[in-house]
Amino acid sequence: MDRRKFLKTAGAGAVAAGTLMAGAPAVHAQKKIRWKMVTTWPKNFPGLGTGANNLAKIIGTMSGGQLEVKVFGAGELVPPFESFDAVSQGTAEMGHGAAYYWKGKSEAAQFFAAVPFGLNAQEMSGWINYGGGQELWDEIYSNFNLKAFAAGNTGVQMGGWFNKEIKSANDYKGLKMRMPGLGGEVIKRAGATPVSLPGGEIFQALQSGAIDATEWVGPYNDLAFGFYKVAKYYYWPGWHEPGTVLECFVNKKAYEELPSDLREIVKQAMKAAYNDMFSEFTARNNGALSTLVKQHNVQLRRFSDDVLKKMGELSKSVVAEVAAKDPMSKKVFESFQSFREQSVSWGRIGEEGYSLARSLTFQG
């Protein structure tokens, strides 16, 4: 055989093979997967609604477009408080909300959103990822064909909007106040009537007098909702929600059917979204608070020590009662409480110690 002819033919074959190999991903690419995400938030609402959008975008980008997530705001596909069931049943593959909305499904779920005088944003992340929280969360949600993820955090919230000053715990008596979760149970013990409303219904309820007061999130979100138009006093600190986790719950069957690389992408996208949301709230809250006070004449008030002590006492009894309701709640509470104890010990030296040191030089 002619050597030059052989080399020419072999070279052409190698090029052809290389071309086929280069094109192999396209030839053997997996079929694009399209998921729906239903949320409890108004469409594109700053921080929360956009947080859901951001999560969907991260998943799409990291997967190279192979897993595409379409986001539906509250009421677009299902009512906001029906999103849990919609994902559980497979109407949608993902949901975005806060776990205290589902206390009717499991009392223990509330620990994975916010606990009065509980863990802040950093501590919640620590407990969930390294303190056994994720395993307990999965144990609860698996009963509903769901896989749970922490997908955002607002940081410490504000204490709420009122049209009268709260000088003592007695001033809660007779108030109809929008406050979900364990915080709602605490103000109930103080004599208030807690009301659970999705975000999109709060302003109208406060304006019409259906409720007398409300908490929502913090300055960034509260300014966007315009609560300053219908309430005068803005209280801090948010003892009821010190570091609220926003969750993404995924249909367990749909999640487990994903190839391993896409499952890992979903998992890492949740962590990225958690950090991004917390960073955004940290960056925007102070400017929004300044706008509320300086431009809209909102009266900023701090809860007195007496009010905070009373709410702390009531919180202890409420949380203890929830923990005693069923074995799962007890199990979660014991884990949460153990982590809180160590966080308080370290926090006095670490975060709190530094904050006190900084305040000696820089006054905000």
**pLDDT per position as a tens digit, 51-80:** 999 999 999 999 999 999 999 999 999 999
Model confidence band, residue 22 (pLDDT cutoffs 50, 70, 90): very low
**Residue 31: per-residue pLDDT:** 87
What is the chain's mean pLDDT, rounded?
92
Which domains are delineated in the chain? Answer: 33-156+243-282 (3.40.190.170), 160-240+287-341 (3.40.190.10)
User: pLDDT band at residue 29, thresholds of 50, 70 and 90?
Assistant: low
Task: Report residue 279 as tokens.
Answer: 């960073």
Instruction: Give per-residue pLDDT as tens, 129-161.
Output: 999 999 999 999 999 999 999 999 999 999 999
pLDDT value of position 144: 98
pLDDT of residue 2: 45
> Mean pLDDT throughout 180-209?
96
Residue 123 makes CB contacts below 8 A (sequence gap 6+) with 243, 339, 340, 343, 347
If phi > 0 it is left, if psi is from -120 to 50 it is alpha, else beta; for residue 143 that is: alpha
- Answer whether 243's CB lies under 8 Å from 122's CB: yes
Q: Buried b vs exposed e over 186-221: b needs ≥16 C-beta within 10 Å?
A: bbbbbebbbbebbbbbbbebbeeeebbbbbbbbbbb
The pLDDT tens digits for 304-340 are: 999 999 999 999 999 999 999 999 999 999 999 999 9
For residue 3, pLDDT over 80 is answered with no
- Mean pLDDT, residues 285-300 taken together: 98
Q: Write out pLDDT tens, residues 78-137.
A: 999 999 999 999 999 999 999 999 999 999 999 999 999 999 999 999 999 999 999 999
What percent of the chain has pLDDT above 70? 92
Q: What is the mean pLDDT of residues 270-275?
A: 98
pLDDT of 208-253, one tens digit each? 999 999 999 999 999 999 999 999 999 999 999 999 999 999 999 9
Q: How buried is 4 (Cβ within 10 angstroms: 0-12 exposed, 13-18 middle, 19+ buried)?
A: exposed
Query: Residue 271: pLDDT band by 50, 70, 90 thresholds?
Result: very high
Short-list 319, 351, 348, CA closest to 336: 319
What are the distances in angstroms from CA 293 to CA 79, 141, 175, 223?
A: 34, 41, 24, 11
Alpha-carbon separation of residue 50 from 8, 15, 39, 42 (angstroms): 58, 47, 11, 10
pLDDT at 364: 65
